[in-house]
Amino acid sequence: MPRHPFQSLPVPAEQASTLAARGLRFGLVDLDDEAQCAAWLRADLRGFYADDPEDGELADRFTPFRDSRLAAVWDDSAADSATPVATVSSWPTRLTTPGERDVEAWAISSVTVAPTHRRRGIARALLESELTAAREHGAPLAVLTVSEATIYGRFGFSPAAFAASLSIEQRRATWSGSVPDGRVHLVERTVLREQAPEIERRARRAVPGEVDRWPRLWDRMFALTGDTKKDAGALRAVRYDDGTGEPQGFALYRVAEQGSDFTKHRVTVTELIAATPDAYAALWRYLLELDLVSEITVGLRSVDEPLRWQVADARAVRTTDVTDHLWVRILDVPAAFAARGYAAEGSLVLDVDDPDGIAGGRYLLTAHSDGSGECAPLDGEAPDGSAHLALDVRALGSLYLGGVSASTLAAAGRITEQTPRAAVAADALLRSPIAPRLSIWF
């Protein structure tokens, strides 16, 4: 039985009928049917080339999905008709937005289609069904992280937050930043696991693009689940407490030898969360001053990481990869844009084209001096003095978190300025002083 009303939102009849005409059955997974849940999990893991779990692991591995809405496609004529040929999961989550605000978003994950069933319209049915469910739930936008970037633009999604991977040559990265008053402590993973969610809650408030983390994810981060305990011995944990003794940040990392030279270990940082600038500085200083280390690597960091400005040689901090990470699909323009903050006062008219007929229309966005704003449909002509842009729903999604420049999109031909310098005016309103970032996969 579903625990939450959203888990019962049905598969739309249109998509179910389309797949039925192709000999496929599209529906929700029965969360009380252990065999069906196990088959769904195996199909999901298979789709991402993960190892097939042992029978005894299935119930534990399925635990986080019990709070999601699960759908699947079955082929009753297949040799293994009980195992889905396609999967998808979804759930509502809080997404941080500029101005230390947040909005409810519909998170979509586990999108898989078996290689035996490509090009049958299954992925389209899955995504269209999810957008329908999101709208019925009342979410103003949908979000996902993607493994194949060419798929999701067809459904109105577009990159809105980017992620960087860093490689740090430790011996050149002499600390030159501030020296905080607090202390870094080596701590037990199980103790820090209980403290971490509250630290993360405070830390992510200022960072657009972050979403709620679920208990199972926290347990995996700390190597406390059955499938991660084998790595527990290598995982080290430190916590930063400020001058009053309040925990303000933590880091998790592993150390590995590189070849035969014991003085050249590699440190892999798996998590570094800081609720204050002092916590950020103290944790990075600690890592940069570890003995017998030559290289530090870390992924899913900001594209505008402060660290390179806190070391004597900025070239010691190399960006090894920058990629799109969080994709956004706007569903309700007024609700989405009322739920974020603004960097300046002004008004902006948006002519939005949405081929799917969901978010299209003309809207007037008004931002106030206190950082708040409202957005409403606009009938007729734009008010005098308003900047005016024409764009599609994908460009709108990229602009939403303030990490993509309207001027850049205009130069790329993705936005049309209906009034002179409208893109510059849009950037003044929509920019975020903190680069949007999502620090997890989902």
Which residues touch 270 (CB under 8 Å, ≥6 apart)? 221, 235, 252, 253, 254
Side chain identity at 400, as an amino acid letter? Answer: Y
d(CA 23, CA 290): 60
282 in a structural domain: yes
What are the b/e assignments for 253-289, b being 16+ CB within 10 Å?
bbeeeeeeeeeebbbbbbbbbbbbebbbbbbbbbbbe
- Among 280, 296, 322, the domain boundary falls at 322
Q: How many domains does the chain have?
A: 3
Supply the pLDDT for residue 429.
98
Side chain identity at 313, as an amino acid letter? Answer: D
Supply the pLDDT for residue 366.
97
Q: What is the dihedral of CA 438, 158, 368, 407, to 10 degrees?
A: 110
Supply the pLDDT for residue 230.
87
Does residue 264 share a domain with residue 130? no
Does residue 169 share a domain with residue 145? no
Note if 152 is an active site residue. Answer: yes
Exposed, middle or buried by CB within 10 Å (0-12, 13-18, 19+), for 309?
Answer: exposed
Output the six-digit token pair for 406: 């309207």
373 in a structural domain: yes
Note if 240 is an active site residue. Answer: no
Does residue 409 share a domain with residue 266? no
Distances (CA, A) of 320 to 36, 167, 296, 316, 357: 42, 6, 12, 12, 39
Does residue 366 share a domain with residue 218? no
Q: Is 18 helix (H, G, I), strand (E, B) or coil?
A: helix
Does residue 350 share a domain with residue 307? no
- Among 322, 355, 387, the domain boundary falls at 322
d(CA 233, CA 228): 10
Write out the H or E segment, with its range, that includes residue 191: helix 189-204
Does residue 211 share a domain with residue 96? no
Active-site annotation holder among 65, 280, 363, 442: 442
Domain of 61? 5-156
Write out the H or E segment, with its range, that includes residue 366: strand 361-367
Closest CA to 169 of 44, 297, 261, 51: 297
Supply the pLDDT for residue 132.
98
210 in a structural domain: yes
| CATH number of the structural domain spanning residue 196 | 3.40.630.30
Residues of the chain with pLDDT under 70: none
- Among 156, 180, 197, the domain boundary falls at 156
Chain-centre distance of CA 409, in angstroms? Answer: 22
Does residue 92 share a domain with residue 74? yes
267 in a structural domain: yes
Supply the pLDDT for residue 2.
76
Does residue 318 share a domain with residue 353? no
Supply the pLDDT for residue 19.
98
CB-based contact 134:157 (threshold 8 Å): no
Does residue 268 share a domain with residue 147? no
441 in a structural domain: no
Supply the pLDDT for residue 265.
97
d(CA 190, CA 205): 24
| CATH number of the structural domain spanning residue 363 | 3.30.1050.10
437 in a structural domain: no
> What percent of the chain is modeled with pLDDT above 90?
95
Q: Is 390 helix (H, G, I), strand (E, B) or coil?
A: strand
435 in a structural domain: no
Does residue 257 share a domain with residue 121? no
Q: Is 316 helix (H, G, I), strand (E, B) or coil?
A: helix
Angle CA 239–244–246, to nearest 5: 40
72 in a structural domain: yes
Length of the chain in terms of residues written? 442
Active-site annotation holder among 6, 152, 240, 337: 152
Chain-centre distance of CA 174, in angstroms? Answer: 32
Does residue 192 share a domain with residue 139? no
Does residue 294 share a domain with residue 225? yes
Closest CA to 365 of 356, 357, 374: 374
